[in-house]
Structure 1
Amino acid sequence: MARTPEQVGIWLRGRRTKLGLSQSQIAELAGVSTRSIREIEHGRARSAHSPTVLRLIGVLGPDAEGGPVDGPSLRLDILGPLTLHVAGRRTQPGATKQSSLLALLALHPGTPVSLEEIVDILWEDHPPASSLNMIHTYVTRLRRLLAPAARPGEPSGGVLLRTRAGYLLDPGGDGHGSDAARFTTLASLPEDANEAYAQAESALRLWRGAVLQDMPSRLREHPSAVTLTRLRLTVLQAYADSALARGTSDHALHELRRTADLEPLHEGVHARLMLALAASGEQAAALSLYTALRDRLDDQLGVRPGPELTDAHLRVLRRDLPRPATARTTVSPASAPSTPPVVPALLPYDAAFFTGRADHLARLDALLPAAGEGPAGGSGVCALTGAGGAGKTALAVHWAHRVRDRFPDGQLFVDLRGHSPEGPVRPVEALARFLLALGVAAEALPGTPETAADLYRTLAAKRRLLVVLDNAVDAEQVRPLLPGGPGCLVLVTSRDRLAGLAARDGARRIGVDVLSPQESRLLLHRTLGAERVDADPRAAADLAHACGHLPLALRIAAANLDHSPWRTLEEHAAELRDGDRLSALSVTGDATTAVRGAFDLSYHALDAPARRMFRLLALVPGPETGLDAAAVVAGLAPAEAAALLERLTAAHMLREHRAGRYRRHDLVALYAAERLRLEETAADRRAASEALYSWLLTATGHCARLLYPGQPPLPPTGTGTDGDGDGEGPGDTVPPLRIPDAAAAIRWLDDELPNLAAAVQQAAAERHPASWRLADALRGHSWTRKTAVDWAALGRAALDAARAADEPVAQAAMHNLLGAAELHQSLPYAAIPHFEQTLALSETGGWPEGTAVALTNLASVNWLVGRLTHAAEYLERATEIDRRNGMPDGHPVVLLTLGITLRDLGRLTESLDRLLGAERAPRDLGSLHNGILTHANLGRTLYLLGDPARATHHLATALTMVRESGEQGSEAYVLRFQSSLHRDNGDLTTALDMATTATRLFDQDGEEYYRADARIALGSVLLALGRPGEADVAYREALKLAEERGADELRARALLGLAAATGLPDREQISRALDIARGTDHLLVEAEALTALAGAELRHGEAATAVARAREALAVHRSTGHRKAQADTLDILGRAVDATGEEDPAPYRTEAVEIFRSLGIPHGDRDPR
């Protein structure tokens, strides 16, 4: 029986004294307060079986008398193999059926188990006729076995009882005669973080394996066993979370690893194991674990990883992990170090004088999540639907401002332009904006819509965000923008009913109709003043009725009246009624005409210069207008234009979206276009458009020269809209360009890109040369903003215009843009026809610069798909054209690409010559990006040629340039080469760090070729570290990516890595790699495969074959000049001839050692590949 609280106190004092520990030391060990220890020692323990006492037993162990509890005379443990202790001695429970009966009863301590369940568990569907008699026999034997634990004076000893409901096992010990009971008590974790951590640790120590792991499956899979297992998972995850927060993740690694093996599809356990591995310095293992589980989920369940796992993956990639705690340091989860997340605040200005909508606001308030819960109703999506001008946006923005404090992680807003003349915003464009707002660097934006949506959902998964999606066209536009996190709430506005969003996505819909008469009157009260409205309430009602109670129309009407204080409400209402405008305002569902009368009055209340500005702004394409563009289209100085824009804003004809950027309601924009057609002559419209196009071309061309100085512009066409390129613009009144440097150029292009894209589309519809000239000027920017706009759509529109104009050079440029758009989507074969058209049309049109560009791009695509000989031929032709065009040494981009291609062809000396030429080229022909690549590839080629000192210099120069420019993609490119150099020199720690970082950065970029290449580099370092299992994972991932990409060179290299990762090299895989390499032009890879095959044949005891193979490989390596490969092959050849006994191996070994020494490689080391 249990001891009294006084006896528990005596036990604790005695145990503490014997171990020589103080009360505070005992408290720290057990994770409890010193006060709790003091209370227990003074005889004030709540129970001998309280969680605190049980934790003390786990920490201090029992003494000679057993512990603070008179060790239950019966102890039956099931958290692992079934074990039975009777009167302190371990006892065998008997034969299988008898043991199974005892295990079943142990799963229900203190609860009767029916005969039907016992029969079902013991014999399943085929019980013998004597099953009940056999059960009685087993019970009799068990009672004899348990007799030493019997409690005198109780029926049947009080241990194994027969009740009306069945058989009942009472192990005694106040319910703690089994490890399952003790675990259940400990699993109820306290709120104090430190105590919860210690108690969870004590609970997990009780587990020796799976529940009843030595019993038949029907017991192992019994619901009670499953419940215990699930409870253990809950405790383990809480323990792991606490360990991670405390910086002691290594404490949880063993339990997490063991559980991950038992639960191969449990995302929560694997997510925590990933974080624990990464926090313990095993980032590669953590990433490999993610890949393996992702593939299992796909193969076995057909699902993708959930938010918890993807969030852990992102944290590992970002190294967003707590630091390991120092000795004897306690860190609470709240104080765990982390990087503060970006908190976006994108809501527009709240509408002044917002009126009414009390019912709508209450219904929106009902959607707010309670503390610690998801949004009420479960969906987290609400749609405000109604006609244009009904005030949906004003309502959404007003409510969002009211509740913004309920979403501490930020508020996102985007105008989706669902009913805009420019066309709706593509979801990927909105995602790019959201990701930038959430802190993702522009150069790290994912390359595809799917990966952009994945990253968005991952970043939002554990945040409380309010997302406002304004003016959606349909449900398909909205769905990719739904974050999915339980703490997020999405508010959509649309003229569409969004029935699909309600049916499929569970969106709550709230209809937004016109204001009530009372609300309309209140709005007029607030905008015009109570005195003016109350002076003639009937006229106010008539005015509201004439405006159709549309908020937008009411506000415009009020602005007109405010501008004309002498006009009465009755007069204004009468003017609205004239000219059949009343019926126009009351047409149901036709928002375009519903407010025309109000717009007319507002428009005519403006002075002539403001009206002209309002009309001409209709010529500016895109979702918003900048001050400079407005000045250009109106032919005014910026100060004059700013004054007019202020007047339009005051009259509610414009809205200043942010400083110097103006937007109009869709209906106002349509009205402006109508006024433009009616009041401006065709000649005046044409002149204003020409001025705008000319200014856009001048500014965009200026940015292109700053950012991409080697990019050849299109030649002039004589149309007058080519952009003079001097930065002065088309006229004296045009504002000067305020773009002094590359950083300013990037900002200007990012701000104007949606408008520039719209300008291309508008000019294309007009068959204007500005369409293809603007599109071509944006060509360089398309490589760094791959998903910001639909580059393929721009290219197609401008191409149609160029064809209509019969301009072959323009068509060539647009095919070049379309080829680049295909490469953005990792579709090299689709890009080839476009670049071929660029080549043919450039030659037809006499544009040699375009011919060189086409040849260079064709070479790049052919290099990507393994056609190296074709690539080199294209590049040699491009070089000849550049030389004829005044570049005697060639263009640096062409020389760089040719140097890379020649290296892969095995022509290392020629490669070095071209790369040095690229380095010497004038700086005004190359960009910073190409300079980095040039130094990186010089380093790689020089190292292959056996010049490690110069190689190190160039790689270090490249990395310095990277760090100064912040180009993430270039950094990964350089680190990939540097990791191989450090690997060969024996600095494996640095090599692993560089290879891991390169892999992470390339994964963010999304380009399969480089993602695969980085994994091959990582695998080679892991092999050198003696971690073949992790290397195998990296090589398999690389092989999968290479196969998806169609990159045969990478397939061959990945197969070589996989072969090396096996204990005995796999000749079949090496032979496959050799066949693939011979099918391409990659001579270096072919020679590498020959060397690997020679080594494998030697390992398999085929020395003579290995000698022949090594001689063949050595001949190729000598022809290429690859020094390290020669040394590796000479080493194998020396060992092979030694094994045959037919030749002296010394010359081969001596030459190998000399090469290794010249490269700074210890001659005992071996290339792990």
Structure 2
Amino acid sequence: MPLESVRFAILGPVRVWRAGQELRLGRPQERALLALLLVRAGQPAAVHDIVTALWGPNPPHSAVNVVRRHVGTLRRLLEPALPTRSEGRWLHRGAGGYRLVTDSDSLDLLHFRRLREEARQAAADGAYPGAVELLTEALALWQGQVASGIPPEARAHLALDALEHEYLTAVREAADAALHAGVPDAVLPVLRSAAADHPLDEPLLARLILALAGTGLRPEALTTYQAVSARLADELGIDPGPELRDAHRAVLAGAPAPAAGAGPPPAARTAAHPVPVQLPHELPVFTGRRAELDQALALFADDARTAGTVVIGAIGGMAGVGKTTLAVHLAHRIADQFPDGQLYVNLRGFDPSGAIMEPSEAVRGFLDALGVPPERIPRHVDAQTALYRSVLAGRRVLVLLDNARDTDQIRPLLPGTPGCLTIVTSRNELSGLVAAHAAHRLTLGPFDADQARAFLVRRLGSERVTAEPRAVDEITRLCAGLPLALACVAARAAAHPHFPLSAVAAELREAHGSLDAFARTDTSADVGTVFSWSSRVLTPEAARLFRLLALHPGPDFTAPAAAALAGLPVRRARLLLAELSGAHLISEHAPGRHTFHDLLRAHAAELVHAEHPEAERRTAAHRLYQHYAHTAHTAGALLAPNGDPVPQPTPADVQDVPPEPLADDHHALAWLTAEHPVLLAVLDAAAGSGHDRLACLLAWSLEPYFDRRGHWHDGLAAQRIALDAALRLSDRALEARGMRGLARAEGRLGLHDLCRPRLDRALAMATELGDAVGRAHTHRSLGWESEQQGDLAGALRHNQLALDLFRAAGHQAAEAGVLNSVGWYHAQLGEHREALRHCFRALTLLQELGDRYGQAATWDSIAYAYHHLGRHPQALLGYRNALALYRELGVPYMEAETLSHLGDTHLATGDLPAARASWQQARDLFTALGHPGADRVAARLAGQQGHEQEEHVGPA
């Protein structure tokens, strides 16, 4: 069969033609297998990559056999007359996988790439009209979403994002060529389409503006710039970058499109936004790794010369082999090639505590460094990743991802557009990154003898090393060429310049450590022994703190936490942390926040178990949990003074562990935000080690924070832990409190079939216990749940019952909040003057109490009632007061609700532009939070205004 008799397509639906006739492809997995082979474009796909693409991380035991059957089916489809067990000419096995034979005549992807290369050569020769013609032909090959028709899980594995970026790069190249050729109309349709699909791609939009102006559509070009500016401000909180501004200035000045032969547009320049410079300090004594460094520089240089390439380097090797040192040195060497900044994060992929950084946490940190306001950062990792890649579009940024666990942890952090470089370090091979994203792998081994000797010379000086060659040989042999071990030996020798190196070698030879996983089989020592030298030179107090810090379950720790753990004053703990940091046993990765290197943490964990009895370790951990629970209790009370009360810590709960001082709700919110991942880890650790009462107090204290920030899934997990802990304690009062907390978390996530029965049970328990305040809070939650079910009369009844109970109990803060709720439900039932009477009484009380969160909710209720009385100026004032407070307090969920209501009032006054602006802001906030309110507001924006009852979310 001649080679040209079979053709494949992947730039759209996955399709195959044989002898001019389209073939009917088989089952979804077979289509996914074909798609993977086509994405590889003639390169082999490893069997384990195929298995991962078809089944994800948990394949069946028969997966490899099933892959073989799918391969056989595909072979027979391509060559029906092929004898059984014959490979044929199209699908070959080898190099640990399968390869589909393709070329630019048989696969549309390769044809597209060939046309692009020819167009680049034409442009380089100044033949811009020819380049336009070639690129137009190339872009016409795209027939929709790449590899459409395959299962979503397979799409998530394949390197389809990179193909999409190839398309966008080709569109930009076509626009540049058309502008230089003086025929911008030739690419205007494809530019419009691409810009509609990528409305935040600034380089693409800059070219669209120039093309519009070049075809005589100057008003549309200016309108497009204004729309893009507004979108960037609303969705990303940023101003237009330099390319957009230059395009705008050119249109205003009436400048023509670039003349033929004027050369390509300038490369991306530094954006007028924060330029992050996050690379760690480079070691001044870096040595060795010359071959590896040259290899990396050559690879990156080759790809940098290939336009459209997204460059990724993966540096792997065992722990302590110097991956991070090399990566940081390499990053500093090439940092000047990335004028838009350098991002760095330690992903903690192998932290012994299990506190591995979630991709969403890393993306949030990057977005913050890139100047995105925190309230504009979406809640879901997919949306965060999309925003991150949009912000990086058109920029040249270096991204260093240190200590990664696996490809899944890395994938959301990869920039999406050419021009950026990602360097990854990991102990794992990251084969998925290599297979799916064409990463360059660079594996580091231990130093050889010459490199190890050069390392010691750089640290200790040539004279000292040359004087004792045998001792140096023994040191390098016993350290097994491990740079981290050599660094510790060198530090000890440098700290004692009068020690002969033979004595250092003897000490190393005679010591016995415990980090066996990091020792070489041909050595009599290991890294644990070397680490122990660093801890021996500490003061006894600092050495004790070093050991106890291994009990901290979170990803990092502060001086107050260390003080609690060790039972010391905070000032003393801060001095000891400085001593540990100076000995390089911990590092201060952010102001006031310290962390371990994972090997040092493992070493500290071994020491604490060896030197501190179980009772002492348990007491230290209990003090730590007390510190977090007590401080969180204070913070929760500041955020929600009228909330469901958390039981007061008993003297046994707090002992001599004071909370961190929090002056007001601003400080409370800042502390909770900074400690969020730590608090989750502490909650798990406390509940898992029998500290059930402290786990309950901590989880319930965090409820106002999770609710205010929209972290409802974290809130649900915390409340489940608390209820389980309360049940283990066999305390009916704690169980009832846990029932209420879990029911509210379920209700926030729409789990109403679980929420309502749990609240009914909580009400019965509170009644049985004679707990009037507990009954009142349960009625309040039942009122909110009744509203969600459309029972407004029931919602009002429950809140009136709660109001009577709070008044009888003298609970004025809660009474003020429920007065607002009663007013709101009166308004929902059309009783607007009665609503205002209750709400103004609530507002007076809340202002006296200084409860700004309650004031914001009440202003929203007041404005709603005024709106429905036709008193729109008063309604606008009320909504603006509520908005100001919510924004000051950092409550994006309630801000979105108020913006939605504000838009309704603007519409009632006839101010449609103001209404749409409010709704757009509300929709964007709801979308960022992953809340279904986005659909409701989007319907308003689309002109599909229903008569649905307004949703109002007050304290539940």
Indicate whether the TM-score tops 0.5.
yes
CA contact (8 A) 1:710 1:925 kept: no
1:616 aligns with 2:552: no
**Counterpart in 2 of 1:382?**
313
Residue of structure 2 in register with 1:979 after alignment? 903
Q: Which residue in the other structure is 1:541 paired with? A: 473
Is the 1:786–1:824 Cα contact (8 Å) retained in structure 2?
no
Cα displacement (A) at 1:414: 2.1
**2:720–2:742 CA contact under 8 A, matched in 1:** yes
Q: Structure 1 residue 911 and structure 2 residue 835: aligned?
A: yes
Q: Aligned equivalents of 1:343 and 1:592: distance in 2?
A: 48
**Where do residues 847-996 of structure 1 align in structure 2 (5 Å cutoff)?**
848-887=772-811, 891-923=815-847, 927-961=851-885, 969-996=893-920
SS for the counterpart of 2:704 is helix
Contact 2:643 2:814 survives alignment (8 Å): no
Q: CA deviation at 1:536?
A: 0.9
Matched letter for residue 457 of structure 1 = R
2: CA distance between counterparts of 1:426 and 1:901? Answer: 41
Contact 2:846/2:855, CA 8 A, preserved across alignment? no
Question: Structure 2: how far apart are the matches of 1:521 and 1:336?
Answer: 44
Given the superposition, is the C-alpha separation of residues 827 and 558 from structure 1 closer, same or farther in structure 2, using an over 3 Å criterion? farther
Identify the residue that residue 415 of structure 1 maps to in structure 2: 346
Which whole-Å CA distance do the structure 2 matches of 1:520 and 1:449 have between them? 43
Secondary structure of residue in 2 paired with 1:690: helix
Alpha-carbon distance in structure 2 between the residues aligned to 1:231 and 1:617: 50
SS at match of 1:368: helix
Distance apart, 1:418 and its partner CA: 1.9
Distance 1:860 1:706, change over 3 A: same
1:991 and 1:871 map into 2 onto residues whose CA distance is 29
- 3-state SS in 2 of match to 1:457: helix
Match of 1:800 in 2: 724
Instruction: Give how far 1:944 is off.
Output: 0.8
Is the alpha carbon distance of 1:1016 and 1:517 closer, same or farther for their aligned partners in structure 2, counting shifts above 3 Å? Answer: same
Residues 781, 669 of structure 1: CA spacing in aligned structure 2 closer, same or farther, 3 A cutoff? same
Q: Map 1:52-201 to 2 at 5 A.
A: none
Structure 1 pair 572/584, CA: closer, same or farther in 2 (3 Å)? farther
The residue that corresponds to 1:779 in the other structure is 703
Contact 2:237 2:373 survives alignment (8 Å): no
**Moved segments of 4+, more than 6 Å:** 188-192, 230-236, 239-242, 251-255, 261-279, 282-288, 310-313, 315-321, 323-327, 331-339, 589-593
Bigger CA drift: 398-407 or 822-831? 822-831
TM-aligned CA deviation for residue 704 of structure 1: 2.8
Q: 1:751 to 1:981 in 2, by over 3 A?
A: closer
Contact 1:878 1:894 in 2 (8 A): yes
Letter in 2 for 1:353: V
Percent identity over paired residues? 32
C-alpha distance after superposition, 1:1073-1102 (max 9, x if no partner): xxxx7xxxx5999xxxxxxxxxxxxxxxxx
| Matched-pair contact (CA < 8 Å) for 1:555–1:652 | no
Which residue is 2:387 aligned to? 455
Greater shift in the superposed pair: 697-706 or 477-486: 697-706
Deviation at 1:617? 1.7
**Aligned partners of 2:512 and 2:524 also within 8 Å:** no
Counterpart contact for 1:284–1:996, Cα < 8 Å: no
Contact 1:390–1:551 (CA under 8 A) maintained in structure 2: yes
Distance 1:864 1:385 in 2: 52
Where 1:625 maps in the other structure, the secondary structure is coil
**TM-score, normalised by the number of residues in structure 1:** 0.58
Q: Distance in 2 between matches of 1:393 and 1:828?
A: 49
> Could you tell me whether the CA contact under 8 Å between 2:766 and 2:775 is conserved in 1?
yes
Tell me if the contact between 1:906 and 1:1084 (Cα under 8 Å) persists in the aligned partners: no
Give the match for residue 325 of structure 2. Answer: 394
CA contact (8 A) 1:613 1:634 kept: yes
Q: Is the alpha carbon distance of 1:319 and 1:779 closer, same or farther for their aligned partners in structure 2, counting shifts above 3 Å? A: farther
CA, structure 1 residues 681+919, in 2 after alignment: closer, same or farther (shift >3 Å)?
A: same
- Going from structure 1 to structure 2, the CA distance change for 1:645 and 1:285 (only over 3 Å counts) comes to closer
Indicate the residue corresponding to 1:530 in structure 2. 462
Cα deviation, 1:234-280, whole Å, max 9, x if unaligned, reads: 899559999xxxxxxxx999996899699998999996899889975
Q: 1:437 matched to which residue of 2?
A: 369
Contact 1:343 1:438 in 2 (8 A): yes
2:94 alignment counterpart: none
1:749 maps to 2:672: yes
C-alpha contact 1:374 1:380 (8 A) present in aligned 2:
no
Structure having greater relative contact order (Cα 8 Å, sep ≥ 6): 2
Aligned to 2:422, the other structure's residue is in SS state strand
- Give the direction of change, closer, same or farther, for the CA distance of 1:659–1:313 in structure 2 (3 Å limit): closer
Question: 1:1133-1163 CA distances to partner (integer Å, 9 max, x unpaired)?
Answer: xxxxxxxxxxxxxxxxxxxxxxxxxxxxxxx
Give the superposition deviation at 1:878. 2.9
Per-residue CA deviation, residues 6-42 of structure 1 (Å, 9 max, x unaligned), is xxxxxxxxxxxxxxxxxxxxxxxxxxxxxxxxxxxxx
**What secondary structure does 1:656 align onto?**
strand
Return the offset for 1:785.
4.1
Partner of 1:765: 688
**Conserved in 1, the CA contact under 8 Å of 2:813 and 2:849?**
no
Query: Which string of whole-angstrom CA distances, capped at 9 and with x for unpartnered residues, describes residues 849-893 of structure 1?
Result: 454444434443443454434433443333333223214695344
Which residue identity is paired with 1:779?
E
With over 3 angstroms needed to count, the CA separation of the structure-2 counterparts of 1:283 and 1:520, relative to structure 1, is: closer
User: Which SS does the other structure have where 1:493 is aligned?
Assistant: strand
Give a deviation string over 1:749-803, Cα, whole Å, max 9, x none.
Answer: 3332222222212211112122222222222221344459944444444443333
Residue equivalent to 1:635: 567
The code of the aligned residue for 2:342 comes to Q
Question: Using a 3 Å threshold, how does the CA distance of structure 1 residues 329 and 414 change in structure 2: closer, same or farther?
Answer: same
Map of 2:4 onto structure 1: none
Question: Could you tell me whether the CA contact under 8 Å between 1:767 and 1:804 is conserved in 2?
Answer: no
Contact 1:237 1:272 in 2 (8 A): no
Q: 1:765 to 1:374 in 2, by over 3 A?
A: farther
Which stretch shifts more, 484-493 or 906-915?
A: 906-915
Kindly tell me: are residues 515 and 1000 of structure 1, through their superposed partners in 2, closer, same or farther at Cα, counting changes over 3 Å?
same
SS in 1 for 2:653: coil
Q: State the superposition RMSD in angstroms.
A: 4.9
Partner Cα separation in structure 2 for residue 394 and residue 558 of structure 1:
16
Task: Please give the secondary structure, in 2, of the residue aligned with 1:384.
Answer: strand
Instruction: Output the amino acid matched with 1:1015.
Output: A
Q: 2: distance between equivalents of 1:284 and 1:241?
A: 22
Equivalent residue, structure 2, for 1:1012: 935
The separation in 1 between residues aligned to 2:170 and 2:686, in whole angstroms, is: 66
**Secondary structure at the counterpart of residue 589 of structure 2:** strand
Pairwise mapping of residues 516-527 of structure 1 onto structure 2 (< 5 A)?
516-527=448-459
Which moved further from structure 2: 883-892 or 644-653? 883-892
- Residues 974/591 of structure 1: CA separation in 2 closer, same or farther (3 Å cut): farther
Alpha-carbon contact 1:796-1:818 (below 8 Å) kept: yes
Answer whether contact 2:638 2:665 (CA < 8 A) is retained: yes
Aligned length: 775
SS of equivalent residue, structure 2 residue 300: coil
Normalising by structure 2, we get a TM-score of 0.70
Distance 1:877 1:613, change over 3 A: same
Larger Rg belongs to? 1
| Alignment check: 8 A CA contact 2:237 2:372 kept | no
The residue identity in structure 2 corresponding to 1:609 is: E
Tell me what 2:489 maps to.
557
- Say whether the 8 Å CA contact 2:229–2:240 is kept in structure 1: no
Query: Is the 2:195–2:205 Cα contact (8 Å) retained in structure 1?
Result: no
Distance 1:758 1:455 in 2: 28
Deviation at 1:895, TM superposition (A): 3.5
- Structure 2 alignment gaps of length 5 or more: 1-118, 134-139, 141-167, 213-218, 258-264
Q: CA deviation at 1:539?
A: 0.8
1:485 to 407, 417, 420: 417
